Structure 1
Amino acid sequence: MERPILYLAITNHGFGHATRTASIAATIQKLCPEVLLILVSTAPRWLLECYIEGDFIYRPRAFDLGVVQTDSLTMDKGATLEKLLYIKKHQNSLIASEVNFIRQNRVNLILADIPFLAPGFAKAANIPCWMMSNFGWDFIYRDWGGEFTAVADWISDWYSKCDRLFRLPFHEPMPAFNNITNVGLTGGSPRHSPDDLRSIWRITAPVEKTILLTFGGLGLQQIPYDNLQQFQDWQFLVFDQSAPDLPNLVKINDHKYRPVDFMPICGRVVSKPGYSTFSEATILGVPIVTIPREDFAEATFIVEGITDYNQHQIITASEFFQGTWNFLHELPQLAKQSQPIAKDGNETIAQAVINYCHTKDSR
């Protein structure tokens, strides 16, 4: 029996797509260690290793770009359009070089989150392409109008060639896809005991006064850290290495720790709208404080998702950037839906991949 080989193609945008794909890759590896994982991403290898404990092949390649950003909230549409048009012009050679690699490595299945050229690789290599996401890039770009409309149409056309979509919660309709399976929330699980975290990082504040500030891989330069002076007996945890040294600010500077590891000892997570952080916090039942993003269409669905299924506070940008953070003295609002949301996305997708690999073997 040949070893099943899975090629995971990851969108080149921030860290969220990389961490949610890596958490599913880790579940596949745990349930079926003989599957060989090839992770295709420009996210740093250490980030993927935070989620995947076993071996994998790392192929640093980018086939899309998401949105060109200077930080977590600032977008450069002009540069984004220029790069998309470059990819469109060179799509045939991009596909050809990757198909070569896929054939040489005898890949059985592509799982993509959610670079639009992946179905092109699969069609040329004559293997299936499955995808997973809560949004497509066609949806983001279409919302911007103008020259982006034609780009969105081109991307929708690629997505329509995908064999199966696992549609994550907090999703837009994703109409380009023809075969959709809805799944539960996905994400990593905490790896360290609360007592160990508290002693290693000297976290002494009670849970309700311990706040995680996390703004994804792109960070956020203008967090108003001065506000922390109003909360002397609280503790704030950040992964931002450029943050100032303050007595009540704990800077997590060891790559083996992830935001999800600290969530169980925090009373709230303060974050931009991002699927991975919101999903992990909702799985663990940790309230979210967030600032809506007006110019990123996906954000509306993500904010709606936590409003429905998690305790939450939706604050304005001016409350966050110019205010005194009084919102921390208020209680979060309760979830609107009484029914809990499904939390088994990792297992559902992993099991489908493993079943496919096994039936392929027995044919």
Structure 2
Amino acid sequence: MIHLAYFITPHGFGHAARATAVMLACLQKRRDLWFEVYTTVPQWFFDDSRLTNYTIHPLACDIGLVQINSLQEDLPATLRALESFYPISEPVVVKLSEEAKEKEIKAILCDISPLGISVAKRIHVPSVLIENFTWDWIYEGYLSEEPGFIPFIEYLKELYAQCSFHVQAIPFCKPEPCHLIVDPISRPIYTSREAIRTSLEIPQNAPVVLITMGGIESNRFPVEMLQKMPDTYFIVPGGASFASKQKNLILLPHRSGYYHTDLMNACDAVIGKLGYSTLAEACWTGVPYGYIPRLKFRESPPLARFVREEMGGIEIPEDLFWEESLLESVNQLLQLPRRKQKTNGADQIAGFLISSILQQQ
């Protein structure tokens, strides 16, 4: 077995979804790969994505942003966390480097944790940064509110610059000199639209909308208003502690047994927080995307531009998401055609890794 390490930021599930897509694509090409995954994302997330050939190592490998909820950041708490984490502890790097040597790690992939880059440099193996933004760029967007980010921005820029290979995933936020630009990276579809609808007892020809907050519990959402569109079915992951069906509403627990990309593919539209993995999976399935922007999050404008120009989606302001006027947006979304992406960035990265880094392994 050829062992690779993957350091994944714990900020939400989006980065883990992207990393999982890359690992799955690599394993399609080379079954002799084994991934050592460093993150605090729970193992069930990878298992539910049908990832094999991996070992998870629970590790907080960067900070990202401390969240109040799925749409709001806590900047003072983020700064406190950064102060306790950076500069990266030398004993941590030494310990991880020793582990990597014992496992004979041949390369380290990072999304978007710079800790993996430091470990790769220490043991003299290639590091691959995969990103559509880096944390230093995100923190720059908060400087008017929190100038305390300045030393962390400078420190992180220096760490990211030390990667051996730099991959940018469309839609990326800041064009940088890099080794590869790839299309949006999505996990694959496993189960047909028809099979998912049958399992959920949804008529095959009924309009269906997925409402998702990107891996965050969404049980505050006022689902009752959706019953005013009785001919349209709504699937709400995280909408209940136990799976239940209430007329045209299908409320699922946070971990429902239904794989997210399959659920999206079974629908005719998706509404949710604007984030990379939801965008990428909507691209891959071709489902029109009604996105809720995060007004203070610097990633939102580039993602929103891509949705409008390349996917034909629509913006749903956060205040309207909680009101009955959301139903007007639902009707608008359901009139849009599917526009399925032809190339998955995960396959492009897998080909690059195997031809450029692992060809002699």
TM-score normalised over the length of structure 1: 0.90
Deviations along 1:92-129, one digit per CA (max 9) or x if unpaired, are 22222211211111100001101022211111111111
What does residue 328 of structure 1 align with? 330
| Counterpart mapping for 1:248-259 below 5 A | 248-253=248-253, 255-259=256-260
Counterpart AA for 2:305 = E
Counterpart AA for 2:352 = A
Counterpart AA for 1:95 = V
Shift of the alpha carbon at 1:158?
A: 0.4
Counterpart AA for 1:206 = N
What does residue 129 of structure 1 align with? 127
Shift of the alpha carbon at 1:206?
A: 3.2
Are the counterparts in 2 of residues 290 and 315 from structure 1 also a CA contact under 8 Å? yes
What does residue 225 of structure 1 align with? 223
Are the counterparts in 2 of residues 222 and 321 from structure 1 also a CA contact under 8 Å? no
Counterpart AA for 2:317 = T
Alpha-carbon distance in 1 for matches of 2:96, 2:175: 26
Change (3 A) 1:323 1:153: farther
Are the counterparts in 2 of residues 63 and 94 from structure 1 also a CA contact under 8 Å? no
| Counterpart mapping for 1:54-65 below 5 A | 54-65=52-63
What does residue 181 of structure 2 align with? 182
Counterpart AA for 1:352 = F
Change (3 A) 1:105 1:124: same
Are the counterparts in 2 of residues 119 and 159 from structure 1 also a CA contact under 8 Å? yes
Deviations along 1:275-298, one digit per CA (max 9) or x if unpaired, are 111111112211000111111101
What does residue 81 of structure 2 align with? 83
Which residues of structure 2 form unaligned runs of 5+?
Answer: none
Change (3 A) 1:354 1:180: closer
Change (3 A) 1:333 1:248: closer
| Counterpart mapping for 1:1-363 below 5 A | 3-145=1-143, 146-173=147-174, 175=176, 178-204=177-203, 206-207=205-206, 209-242=207-240, 246-253=246-253, 255-325=256-326, 326-331=328-333, 343-361=343-361
Alpha-carbon distance in 2 for matches of 1:77, 1:127: 35
Alpha-carbon distance in 1 for matches of 2:110, 2:190: 26
Shift of the alpha carbon at 1:155?
A: 0.7
Shift of the alpha carbon at 1:357?
A: 4.8
Are the counterparts in 1 of residues 286 and 341 from structure 2 also a CA contact under 8 Å? no
Counterpart AA for 2:350 = A
Shift of the alpha carbon at 1:51?
A: 2.3
Alpha-carbon distance in 1 for matches of 2:87, 2:154: 15
Shift of the alpha carbon at 1:242?
A: 2.9
Alpha-carbon distance in 2 for matches of 1:241, 1:31: 37
Report SS of the residue matched to 1:108. Answer: strand
Are the counterparts in 1 of residues 37 and 55 from structure 2 also a CA contact under 8 Å? yes
Are the counterparts in 1 of residues 72 and 294 from structure 2 also a CA contact under 8 Å? no
Shift of the alpha carbon at 1:54?
A: 2.5
Report SS of the residue matched to 1:198. Answer: helix
Alpha-carbon distance in 2 for matches of 1:105, 1:98: 11
Change (3 A) 1:7 1:90: closer
Shift of the alpha carbon at 1:159?
A: 0.5
Alpha-carbon distance in 2 for matches of 1:162, 1:248: 49
Change (3 A) 1:304 1:333: farther
Deviation larger for 163-172 or 255-264: 255-264
Alpha-carbon distance in 1 for matches of 2:241, 2:272: 16
Change (3 A) 1:191 1:252: farther
Change (3 A) 1:174 1:154: farther
Alpha-carbon distance in 1 for matches of 2:200, 2:29: 32
Are the counterparts in 2 of residues 23 and 52 from structure 1 also a CA contact under 8 Å? no
Deviations along 1:127-178, one digit per CA (max 9) or x if unpaired, are 1111111110111111111111221111111001011111000111154xx5
Shift of the alpha carbon at 1:299?
A: 1.2
Are the counterparts in 1 of residues 184 and 344 from structure 2 also a CA contact under 8 Å? yes
Deviations along 1:170-190, one digit per CA (max 9) or x if unpaired, are 111154xx5341111211122
Report SS of the residue matched to 1:359. Answer: coil
CA RMSD of aligned residues (A): 2.2
Report SS of the residue matched to 1:30. Answer: helix
Alpha-carbon distance in 2 for matches of 1:161, 1:333: 47
TM-score normalised over the length of structure 2: 0.91
Alpha-carbon distance in 2 for matches of 1:331, 1:64: 37
Are the counterparts in 2 of residues 312 and 332 from structure 1 also a CA contact under 8 Å? no
Alpha-carbon distance in 1 for matches of 2:332, 2:350: 40
Deviation larger for 219-228 or 18-27: 219-228
Change (3 A) 1:333 1:169: farther
Counterpart AA for 2:159 = W
Alpha-carbon distance in 1 for matches of 2:39, 2:22: 15
Counterpart AA for 1:345 = G
Which residues of structure 1 form unaligned runs of 5+?
Answer: none
Shift of the alpha carbon at 1:80?
A: 0.8
Counterpart AA for 1:9 = F
